[in-house]
Amino acid sequence: TLYDDDGERIFPDRQVNTVPVDMTHEERQFYRAVTDYVQNVYNRSEKLNEPAVGFAMALMQKRLVSSIGAIKATLSRRLGDLVDEQSSSTSLSEEASAYLDGEDLDEEDKERVEEELSALTVTESDAQLEEEIETLRDLVSLAEGISVDSKAQKVRRYIQQLLEEQPDEKLLLFTEYTDTLNYLLELVKDEPWADEILVIDGSVDKEERARIEEEFNHGQSRLLFATDAASEGIDLQHSCHIMVN
């Protein structure tokens, strides 16, 4: 616990609540199918000594957990890259190679590199590549058939309830991926409070970040949706007491 010169606590207590989400049958089916696909490609990467492909599969599993929107975008990009035969791990950019070696990147560079890595695969034959492409087509089709992302809908309902019951509160929503951020923004675009949403992602420069911080802290906007770009250098603790992650 940290205290200031007057003996007052600098940071208040934090209460962390985990909210359970019940997936639909379609979501569970999709989750299992993607997990099986990831495991199969990962095992192949281990067998053929292609660790970059294994890393790409780990990233895909994280996006699956993030949102239907994020994993659908990733699967669609991967499908397009494999069809275009842009999936060789021997032609990685310098940034991607550095990232695999543990180098830290800013958010924009990290997302760009992760998109590059998510296209990687390794196969033992043309037939195996065609089989993977067909699997990806099936997965994209399954994703398109999911009308409700249960986790995203729970977030939407939570925000709605909060603003109705505690209209003076403000809320900060963090998400790791821009794809998930955009998916949530699309989901809530018709809500009466949608015009109160401020957004910070890796494309927002320092001057605009400062303006958004000022508006959120002292203006009428009660909602800030952000990626990791807002996790450092922004002080919101005096105006916002609720964070969804």
Q: What is the mean pLDDT of residues 171-192?
A: 93
Q: β-pairing, 171-174 with 223-226?
A: parallel
Cα separations in angstroms, 202 against 112, 196, 198, 227? 11, 20, 14, 7
Q: Which residue has the higher pLDDT, 36 or 3?
A: 36
Per-residue pLDDT at 89 exceeds 60: no
- Whole-model pTM: value is 0.83
Q: Which stretch of 79-93, 180-194, 196-210 has the lowest confidence by average pLDDT?
A: 79-93
Residue appearing with tokens 């955009």:
182
Q: What is the pLDDT of residue 230?
A: 65
Model confidence at 88, pLDDT cuts 50, 70, 90, reads low
Residues of the chain above pLDDT 70, percent: 91
User: CA-CA distance, 130 to 28, in Å (whole number)?
Assistant: 26
**Nearest to 243, CA basis, from 64, 12, 71:** 12
pLDDT at 204: 86
CB 204 within 8 A of CB 230: no
- Other C-beta atoms closer than 10 Å to the C-beta of 64 total 21
- Residue 11 confidence (pLDDT) above 70: no
Transcribe 69-88 into DSSP letters. Answer: HHHHHHHHHHHHHHHTT---
Q: For residue 97, what pLDDT band results from cuts at 50, 70 and 90?
A: confident
pLDDT given for residue 123 in this prediction: 85
Burial class (CB in 10 A: 0-12, 13-18, 19+), 208: exposed
How far apart (Å, rounded) are the C-alpha atoms in residues 23 and 199? 28
Does residue 34 contact residue 63 with C-beta atoms inside 8 Å? Answer: no
Q: Which domains does the chain have, with CATH numbers?
A: 25-144 (no CATH), 150-244 (3.40.50.300)
Residue range 18-70, pLDDT digits in tens: 888 999 999 999 999 999 999 999 999 999 998 899 999 999 999 999 999 99
Cα–Cα nearest to 70, from 134, 104, 118, 32: 118
Phi-psi domain of 161 (left: phi exceeds 0; alpha: psi -120 through 50; beta: other): alpha
